[in-house]
Amino acid sequence: MPMTKKLLGQGGMTFTNAFVTNPVCCPSRASILTGLYPHNTQVFNNSRRPGDGGCSPWRFLTFLEHYGYNRFLHQHNYHPIDDQAQRELDLGKDWQLVYDNEGNSDPPKGVRQTFNEKLLRHSRASNATGHEYMTFHSGKYHNEYCCYGPKGWDVWKTHDKNSKFYNYKIIDENWQEKWYGMREDEYLTDKIKDWSLEFLKNYQEFAKKNVQKGQQTEREGNVAPFLMVLSVPAPHNPFQAAPRHSNATQHLPPAPRTPNFGRCGAENSDKHTPVNRATCLSYSQLKHIDESYRGRLGTLMSVDETIHQIHEFIDKNMSMLDNTYFIFTSDNGYHLGQNGLMYEKRMPYETDIRVPFYIKGPGIRPNSFYDGIVLNIDIAPTLVDLAKGFVPPHVDGRSLLPVLFSKSNPNDAIRFVDERFLVEYYGEAYGEHNRHLAIHTSNGEHPAYEHTPADAWNNTYKCIREIERTKGDVLGKIYCEFICFDAGKVPSPCPEGSVEANGEFYNLDHDPWQIKNQWHSLPQQQISKYRNLIRSFSTCQTAVNCDKFRYGQVDL
């Protein structure tokens, strides 16, 4: 993505140690929305089944959306209702009928306001009280999303369920559903770009008319600010590039053959299930990995174009570049052939938990780098702090404003600071008869998984990922503990002597590709420290409490 790297990376700040607290779509998106760790969102994987993953419309509707960053921007002086039980009781079985009667600034279902009416309402409120933002969301929301327009979004053009680039259903803010992608020119990323530019053009036209007619809401030029979220599914499967990029995709390089690529059998015996059950990759699987890698890069060509065109429109057409912030990141990393696994995420390794992260905007030093740990739970508090000047008290993450606007090099402040965070994931399996046999696919979309695992119940873990700079760390370390289950998916003791019964530990400054599990080399005192950290992190709520373990030396 050369244009994105130039515009946002060279034009702003690059975060070299950006991570997610859960390496899969739905839990990470829940954390991005709310600023909460998975143990506080209670979304642990992509399953919606009761008592399992927590990825359900009901969970988002009755809790998570109430704490979303967009609600704080969309309505002045917004305060969430903390009593979830009361919210569920109020919603009841006919929740769709009463969802829009909670008394906030959204109109009831069926009362459709035009774009200009919404923007005028926010502008008037901004003058009378404090900034209210005109809000836009397009693309993917979460894996099980369907059938309604969440509160706090003025324009909502969002994908039903999971990702497809053609033949997909979009739900709007009025709960109307429409199918797209029946024509070649309705490639999903391009439609997201079109809807985004339409939003900006409408916003610009409203502002021009107000100024021309002298109809400023209360004082000169005070049109409500806007928030745009482009949640492009790319490079998610099915790895289908836009037709205009299909030829270029064929000439892209194969998947990188990293030092841990294709390891299998006895080479992975010191790793947990399903990694230690992975068979060696066949020629056809290697070929499929390369095709998938090229396809993924191909889908990102359209994303690169989209970011460039929106950046150019805000700059050249709206002249608002000096008043606009851009944030670019991902909801998880990815592995392609590492440790003998095909293509997926879900693992507690660097390939899966590391993500790209750029922020550009006024006051941020161009071509700057920050080496401190930055998490997906830091996005919500940063957005609210940028827009409204405060951090919501419920969040577990931290606002990045002190880093972004530091008058000196922000790395100086962390030169001798230890940092750490919790990674937590619950393994998925569908129709699994043996808890040690990994499923072939999480959603039936991976035919190449015929002999390669994607996930397993015993791929349930909590890890401490840390950088102890007081001990000379640069890349840092990761320590993982695992939870085992019986055939009924009830937690049970892990088999004695198994990797799951012990754990995994890697010092990335000595072993950056996490090839050799060094758990057995740890002194008992260090094992006890990590176990205590996991217990403490697993129950922490709010940044005030979570920061006690996130920063500084810890001797538990």
Residues that are catalytic: 25
Q: Is residue 377 within 8 Å of residue 397, measured between CB atoms?
A: yes
Which backbone phi and psi does 13 adopt, to 5 degrees?
A: -110, 135
Torsion sign across C-alpha atoms 520, 473, 545, 42: negative
Per-residue CA distances from 511 to 22, 131, 399 (Å): 22, 49, 31
Lookup result for tokens 């069926």:
110
d(C-alpha 460, C-alpha 149), whole Å? 33
Q: Is residue 33 within 8 Å of residue 61, measured between CB atoms?
A: no
d(C-alpha 374, C-alpha 410), whole Å? 13
d(C-alpha 556, C-alpha 540), whole Å? 15
Per-residue CA distances from 59 to 5, 42, 49, 471 (Å): 36, 9, 11, 42
Q: Is residue 281 within 8 Å of residue 337, measured between CB atoms?
A: yes
Task: Quote helix, strand, coil % in the chain, to nearest 5.
Answer: 40, 15, 45
d(C-alpha 232, C-alpha 305), whole Å? 12
d(C-alpha 497, C-alpha 88), whole Å? 45
**Gyration radius (Cα) of the chain, Å:** 24
Q: Which of 417, 413, 373, 375 is nearest to 395 (CA)?
A: 375
Give bridge partners of residue 157 from the DSSP assignment: 138
